[in-house]
Amino acid sequence: MVEVWLPYGKTEVCVRIPTQSWLKTVEPNNVAAAKNPLSELESALANPVSAQRLSEVAKPGSKVALVLRDADVSTNTIMVSALLNELNSAGVGDGDVTVVVACDPLRDPQTWRQMPTLGESLSSRVRVVRHDPEGADNVNVGRTSRGTEVLLNKAVTEADVKIVAGTVEPHPLVGYSGGAELILPGVSGVESVRRNLLLALDRKVERGVVEGNPVFEDAVEAAGLAKVDFCLDVVRNGGLEVAKAFTGSVEASFGEAAKLADKVCSVSVDNRADVVYISPGGFPFDGSLFESLRCLDVAEKLAKRGKPVVLIAECAFGLGNSEFVEAASRSDDLRVLEKELKKSFSVGKLVAYRFLSAAQNGGVYVVSVVPDYLVTKVRGVRGARTANEAYRFASAVVGKGGKVTFVPYGNLVVPQIKVAE
């Protein structure tokens, strides 16, 4: 027998299968962590890919807005520490810096609002505000060529120096997080976000793909309208340790970071599997079913047509986004849901649309703490009490000889299939 451990909340669960049934464990490629993460970031700040150093852009007394994603506290702390050192060297005081915490509409606010953005020492040095997409004081800075009115957080528009800083990792809609994505949808108004993400109905929208991706390209235009002055992009390895950092203009810095992120996350896979076990990566990525499903596109790629997927996600906060639950439980007709999205868009409906598209392939078993009667509200889903019970269910569908692929960190990989079924 083979034992495979998959992240589940703040712990792990074990799956035991016959040795001959194991096909592959898909994980990020091995990339060494920086020996000294702070030194790595300071080196990147001293050697931007393009444009001036941040210390040359900022002047004494400049009001600075630093847009930051809710990554883990350790990564955020290193990024903000390095940026503050650079700003301080230019004569900018800590009191002139506002950290604006960006919003990712595919993440469940119920989970992430409980996560500290910075450690106590840094939180006391700078002003920290969370972006509210529905805030009344978002400012219109123009329109993209795709017709998106860009409404931005007022603290960002009023700043003399605008900085975006984040991790560059696979994203199911934008291709890769970081860079321009921190502006749109990160600190944009709700109508801007809706218009931008409606573009996700385009077939060119895919995890790990930025070239030709309309959601990404729209975000790049928005970052241009926002007049972002400086960008810090961090690439982490599979252990979420800082590997390398890049700085400079939004497009140049992100471009270099995305190349490295692709080397870390793009994984070659020879064959599709009869059963795919996937975990988003444990807490906080599996706080709710809504958030956990952001990695389901990975499983869909790895599974043969008509074969089941087992999602290992604790879902301590239940099903999550109410609009997702309502749309995913009401109908499995994708044409009807697509018409609804075009008429009255919401992120919840979009996730439901993408989920139902994947679920129709072969069905999804969910191993979570959510009671079965709630899980089965979502069409195409069946609950399982344990990971091994889910294997018994799946084996009844594909047969005892079915090949199984495991994905412990579904949010961090971009599978590249070599051979079709």
Q: Tell me how far apart the alpha carbons of residues 20 and 43 are, in angstroms, rounded to a whole number.
A: 48
- Domain-terminating residue out of 237, 265, 293: 265
The DSSP call for residue 141 is E
Tens of pLDDT, residues 211-251? 999 999 999 999 999 999 999 999 999 889 999 999 999 99
Identify the CA nearest to 313 among candidates 282, 284, 290.
282
- Do 311 and 257 lie in one domain? The reply is no
Number of domains in the chain: 2
- Do 283 and 161 lie in one domain? The reply is no
Task: Tell me if residue 352 falls in helix, strand or coil.
Answer: helix
Contact 343, 335 (CB under 8 A): no
- Domain of residue 404 covers 2-27+270-417
Q: What is the mean predicted confidence (pLDDT) over 31-56?
A: 94
Residue 32 lies in a domain: no
Residue 282 lies in a domain: yes
- Do 246 and 295 lie in one domain? The reply is no
CATH code, domain carrying 243: 3.40.50.11440
The DSSP call for residue 71 is -
Q: Tell me how far apart the alpha carbons of residues 287 and 293 are, in angstroms, rounded to a whole number.
A: 11
Query: Which two tokens mark 311?
Result: 């999602």
Tens of pLDDT, residues 275-315? 999 999 998 899 999 999 999 999 999 999 889 999 999 99
- Do 213 and 78 lie in one domain? The reply is yes
- Do 63 and 161 lie in one domain? The reply is yes
- Do 208 and 348 lie in one domain? The reply is no
- Domain-terminating residue out of 214, 243, 265: 265
Q: Decide if pLDDT at 111 tops 80.
A: no
- Do 274 and 257 lie in one domain? The reply is no
- Do 11 and 54 lie in one domain? The reply is no
Residue 260 lies in a domain: yes
Identify the CA nearest to 328 among candidates 362, 374, 368.
374
- Do 230 and 344 lie in one domain? The reply is no
CATH code, domain carrying 350: 3.90.226.30
Query: Which two tokens mark 113?
Result: 């609002």
Burial code (b: 16+ CB inside 10 Å, e: under 16) for 371-380 equals: eeebbeebbb
- Domain-terminating residue out of 265, 286, 304: 265
Tens of pLDDT, residues 332-367? 778 888 888 888 899 999 999 888 887 777 789 999
- Do 196 and 342 lie in one domain? The reply is no
